[in-house]
Structure 1
Amino acid sequence: MIAALYVEADGTYIGLPHVDTWDIGRDARQYAGPHPIVAHPPCQRWGRFARGGTHPNSPRFEVGADEGCFKAALAAVRRWGGVLEHPCDSLAWPHFNLNAPPREGGWIAADFEGGWTCCVYQGHYGHFSGKPTWLYANKVTLPELRWGKCEQRLHPTALAKHGYAKARRIGMMAMVGGKDKTKIRNSTPDEFRDLLISMVRNRP
């Protein structure tokens, strides 16, 4: 059995055998073991727009104001073993004194708590965009991953409308719209999910 923390209520982890899921209906900060974990703590207050949007009237926020979710997830991984996923360049890494991994890939020591970190592109594992991602792992087997950047991906609508240079700046993620855009952007591809689960289940 493993625990999957901070997952979508109707997401890719739901219904998997031997996976105890903690969605929005459960407070994953209260997880008390004993199983190793895969954690996807919320990232909105740790990313590029952690303080809010660029519009003058956008709400303002404090960096790291996630009600203790990342702190609890990091503590759980260190105690019970597992892997934590966050966007590349997450401000949580310097905030919690974790070493930033190189974009070209490879595991490096993350801290003095036995943790390891790396940068991996989810585009190698089924995501429609490159989606560079940082992992923090502790007490698990560290696999060789598909390191390095993905091939360049341009949205055909953006390319046709704006040309190559602007389509490259816009990227794939920004072209996702509609009421489910946040869910789509945050989704974990099945292959990437299975990779994280295998790391936790194949502990040394």
Structure 2
Amino acid sequence: MIAALYVETDGAYFGLPGVDPWDEKRDARKYAGPHPVVAHPPCQRWGRFWHGSTRKPHQFKLGDDGGCFDAAFKSLRRFGGVLEHPADSHAWSAFSLNKPPRSGGWVYAGQGFWTCCVYQGHYGHLSGKPTWLLACGMQRDDLPELRWGKTEQRLHPRALELHGYEKARRIGMMAMVGGKDKTRIRNATPDEFRDVLISIASSACTTQFTEDSP
């Protein structure tokens, strides 16, 4: 059994055997074990635009997520598993973690954690979506070799037709996704990537980590 924390209601983690999903209603900050976790803490206050939109900058404080990342970090450390956040998340600096290279490969993050950069586009996401993972509760040899490196360049055919190559390259695939589902599609975890995260969490031990050693 694993616990999936901070997941979308009725999303990719619901209805799976051996998975206990914690959506917003259950409040994953209250998770008290005992199972390893797959954690998707909110990223808005940790990313490139943590301060708010460019039209209204500095509306928010860096890391002001109601304690979600901190709670996920503590659950990961206590019960083992894996946490996912966008590449270049400021949370790594805030929690004194070593950052992974964009080229891929697991590296020691410190404090008993391992980290890597992987592109969800290799696993079914519409865009490349570079992602940082943080794992705990296993040895380096227990971690899987993923599909490392950037995804191939993807240009939306309609963007290419309307704007030409340079602008189509700059705005990316998601810019051409319209309607109310844009945010959901951007944030959704592809099933294949979800299964990778579940497999990592399933290999974790459920002991508490106190030593800063790989």
How much has 1:77 moved relative to structure 2?
0.4
Structure 1 residues 155-174: aligned runs within 5 Å: 155-174=156-175
Cα separation, 2, equivalents of 1:187 and 1:60? 26
Name the CA distance, whole Å, in 2 between partners of 1:90 and 1:82.
19
Contact 1:3 1:35 in 2 (8 A): yes
Pair 1:35 & 2:38 matched = no
In 1, Cα distance between equivalents of 2:9 and 2:82: 20
Partner deviation per Cα, 1:27-85 (whole Å, 9 max, x = no partner): 101111000000000001111111001114x6711111100000110111011000000
**1:85-124, CA deviations, whole angstroms, 9 ceiling, x for partnerless residues?**
000000111111111100000010111x210000000011
Q: Tell me the equivalent position of 2:194.
A: 193
Report deviation, 1:152.
0.5
Alpha-carbon distance between aligned partners in 2 of 1:182 and 1:39, rounded to the nearest angstrom: 19
Aligned partners of 2:124, 2:163: CA distance in 1, in Å? Answer: 26
Q: Which runs of 5+ in 2 are unaligned?
A: 206-214
SS in 2 for 1:194: helix
Q: Where do 5+ consecutive residues of structure 1 fail to align?
A: none
Paired AA for residue 167 in structure 1: A
CA distance in 1, matches of 2:178, 2:97: 34
- Report the 3-state secondary structure (helix = DSSP H, G, I; strand = E; otherwise coil) of the residue aligned with 1:45: coil
Separation (CA, whole Å) in 2 of partners of 1:104 and 1:30:
35
Provide the C-alpha distance between the structure 2 equivalents of 1:195 and 1:76, rounded to a whole number of angstroms.
Answer: 19
TM-score (norm 1): 0.96
For 1:15, the equivalent position in structure 2 comes to 15
Secondary structure at the counterpart of residue 20 of structure 2: strand
TM-score by length of 2: 0.91
Pick 1 or 2: higher relative contact order, CA cutoff 8 A, min separation 6: 2
SS in structure 2 of the partner of residue 61 of structure 1: coil
Other-structure match for 1:80: 79
Note if 1:47 corresponds to 2:39. no
Shift of 1:201: 1.4
CA drift of 1:176 comes to 2.2
**1:144-155 residue pairs with structure 2 within 5 A?**
144-155=145-156
Which position in structure 1 is the counterpart of 2:209?
A: none
Aligned runs of 1:60-71 on 2, under 5 Å? 60-71=59-70
Give the Cα–Cα distance (whole angstroms) in 1 for the partners of residues 97 and 164 of structure 2.
39
The alignment's C-alpha RMSD in Å is 1.2
Aligned residues: 202
Q: Tell me if structure 2 keeps the 8 A contact 1:176–1:185.
A: no
Deviation per residue, 1:112-140 (Å, 9 max, x gap): x2100000000111111100000000013
CA distance in 1, matches of 2:70, 2:86: 16
